[in-house]
Amino acid sequence: MYRESMAFLNDWKQRKTRKPLIIRGARQVGKTWLIDEFAKGFDVFIKINFEEHPEYCDFFSTNDVTTILENISLTFGKKIIQGQTLLFLDEIQICSQAIGAMRYFYEKMPGLHIVGAGSLLDHVLSQLQLPMPVGRVEFMYMYPMNFSEFLLANDEAMIVEFLATFDPAKEISTVVHQKILKLLRAYFFIGGMPEAVKVYIETSDLLEVERVHESILTSMEIDFTKYGKGGDFESLRRVLRYLPRGIGKKMKFTAIDSTAKSTDLKQAFEKLELSRVVHRISATPSADIPLMQHTKPGYFKPLFIDIGLATHVLKIRLMDLENLMLINEGELAEQFIGQQLLTRHPFFIDKELFYWIRENKDSNAELDYLIESGNSVIPIEVKAGKTGILKSLHVFMMEKEKNFAIRFNVDLPSLTQVSTTIKMKDSMEQVTYRLLSLPLYLVNFVDFDHPYHDKL
C-alpha cells in the first residue's frame, strides 16, 4: 500500500536541515509499517521497540551519544554509520529518556537518521510534563488512509490520476462518477485503518472487515490501562462508543450518559483526544484569521478517528456493496470530509479544524467547516445528497461579506453564481456569491489555496 507521507520521509532523508523525527498518530494507523518500508532505502536498519523490549531503555541512561550508539551497535551486531543507518525508536513514549536524548543526537550526530514513533506520546508529555527538545526535533503527523490512498490500494491509480488533474471546466462522465461513488461508499464502511483495507483487498469479505474493526476498538480499550491518572475505564469506554453517534453534533457530555458525572466524561474525552482517537472541531462565530484566536470555549464537535470504525460502532452491517445505502449519511459525509481535511499536506503541522456558528434569537446558523486560505476563509457546506437547503451558508456569506464558497455533495461538479434573498429579522437581504459544488470524493484533490476563483 502507498502512503502519501512516504514522500515527506524521502524529503526528510535528503534535507540538509533535517532533525531527528518523531511520528505522532493513533495506534494502528500505520506508523511502524511506514518506517519499515522507508528503511528499505538504507544500508543498515535498527529498530528498537520499547513495548517489546523495555530493557532497551537502559541504553538512554546516559546522554552521551557515542556511548548510546556503541551499546546499540553491540546489542544488534550492526555498525551505525551516519548517512547509511536508520535508527527507529518505536513506542518511544515508554522510554522518556529516549525522547530527551533526541536533542543530543541533533547536536552531536546530525548526520544520523533517527526516527521515533509513539501512539500514546501525548499522554507522556502531558502527565510527566517532559521537557521536549524544542527546536532540535521535528514532527510528522499520521492518520488513517485517506480516500486517495484507499483508491490506490484498490488498484485505481487511473482514477487518482484523473482526479488529480481536476478542473471545474472538465466534465466527469456519469458512468465514471457512479463508479467513484461506489468506491466512496465502500470507504464509508471499510474506512482507512490499514489492516481493514488490507483484509478487504485480500478477501473482499466485509465480515472479515468487521472483525478487524472490532479488534481495533478492543485494542484501543486495552490501551485505557496505559492512560495514567484519570484513566476511568468505564467512562473511557462510554465516550469511545458514543463518539460515532456524536458526529456532526455539538459535544454535550450529558448526551453520553445522563447518570454519569460530566467531569468524568470530559476527562475521558480529553484522554481519548491525547490518544488521537478523537479530534475536536472548534466552533467560531468569526470569519477572521487566524481562526484559532476566535474560537468559542466549550463549543466543539467530535470527529472520530475513522469513518469505517464509526460505521462499525453504529452497527451498520453490510454484506455487499452493490446496493449500498447508509443511515446517518449526513453525519458520515461530515466525518468523511473532516477526516480527509486532516490528511492534507503539510504533514509536519498538527492541524486544527473549525466550524462556524451563529447563535442569535432571530437566526441560528451553522456551517460544517471553515478553511483558512491565504488571508481569507473559505466556508464549506457538506451534504450527503445532491441537493439541500443552504440557508446557513447564505447567512454566512451575507453577514461576513464573502463571495466564494464550496459545497461537497454527491452530484457532479458545478460552478455557479448564487443570487438570492434571505430574511434577517424584519428585513429581506440580498446575497450574491460564487458556489463551487464538488462531489465528496474530490476533497483530497482540491487546492484550497487556489480553489478555482478565476474559473467562473
Same-domain status, 136 and 193: no
Same-domain status, 245 and 335: yes
Is residue 428 very low, low, confident or very high in pLDDT (cuts 50, 70, 90)? confident
CA-based nearest residue to 189, from 248, 110, 244: 244
Q: Say if residue 452's pLDDT is above 80.
A: no
Q: Say if residue 379's pLDDT is above 70.
A: yes
Give buried/exposed letters for 179-200 (b at 16+ CB in 10 A, else e): ebeebbbbbbbbbbbbbbbbbb
What pLDDT shows up at residue 95?
Answer: 93
When pLDDT is averaged across residues 197-225 and rounded to a whole number, the result is: 94
Is residue 66 very low, low, confident or very high in pLDDT (cuts 50, 70, 90)? very high
- Where a domain ends, among 141, 162, 181? 141
Among 120-134, 152-166, 236-250, 422-436, the range scoring the smallest mean pLDDT is 120-134
In DSSP terms, 354 is beta-bridged to 282, 370
Same-domain status, 208 and 328: yes
Same-domain status, 27 and 157: no
- Where a domain ends, among 141, 168, 196? 141
Same-domain status, 358 and 436: yes
Per residue in 34-58, pLDDT (tens digit) is 999 999 999 999 999 999 999 999 9
Is residue 377 very low, low, confident or very high in pLDDT (cuts 50, 70, 90)? very high
Q: Say if residue 139's pLDDT is above 80.
A: yes
Beta-sheet strand order (sheet of 278-284): 300-304, 278-284, 353-358, 365-373, 376-382, 404-409, 427-439, 414-424
Same-domain status, 224 and 100: no
Q: What is the mean pLDDT of the chain?
A: 90
Q: Say if residue 171's pLDDT is above 90.
A: no
Burial zone of 389 (CB within 10 Å; 0-12 exposed, 13-18 middle, 19+ buried): exposed
- pLDDT, greater one: 63 or 386: 63
Q: Are 268 and 235 in contact (CB under 8 A)?
A: yes
The domain that contains 10 carries what CATH number? 3.40.50.300
Is residue 315 very low, low, confident or very high in pLDDT (cuts 50, 70, 90)? confident
- pLDDT, greater one: 385 or 291: 291
Is residue 453 very low, low, confident or very high in pLDDT (cuts 50, 70, 90)? low
Among 216-225, 399-408, 417-426, the range scoring the smallest mean pLDDT is 417-426
Same-domain status, 156 and 17: no
Is residue 100 very low, low, confident or very high in pLDDT (cuts 50, 70, 90)? confident
In DSSP terms, 420 is beta-bridged to 431
Q: Say if residue 455's pLDDT is above 90.
A: no
Same-domain status, 42 and 60: yes
Q: How many domains does the chain have?
A: 2
Same-domain status, 170 and 312: yes
- Where a domain ends, among 80, 107, 141? 141
List Cβ neighbours of 70 (8 Å cut-off, separation of 6 or more): none
Same-domain status, 31 and 177: no
List Cβ neighbours of 243 (8 Å cut-off, separation of 6 or more): 272, 277, 278, 302, 304, 310, 313
When pLDDT is averaged across residues 327-338 and rounded to a whole number, the result is: 86
What pLDDT shows up at residue 425?
Answer: 73
Is residue 130 very low, low, confident or very high in pLDDT (cuts 50, 70, 90)? low
- pLDDT, greater one: 44 or 135: 44
Same-domain status, 349 and 442: yes
Q: Say if residue 362's pLDDT is above 90.
A: no
Q: Say if residue 456's pLDDT is above 50.
A: no
Same-domain status, 347 and 435: yes
What pLDDT shows up at residue 127?
Answer: 62
- What is the pTM for the complete model shown? 0.93
In this structure, are strands 404-409 and 376-382 parallel, antiparallel, or unpaired?
parallel
Q: Which domain holds residue 25?
A: 5-141
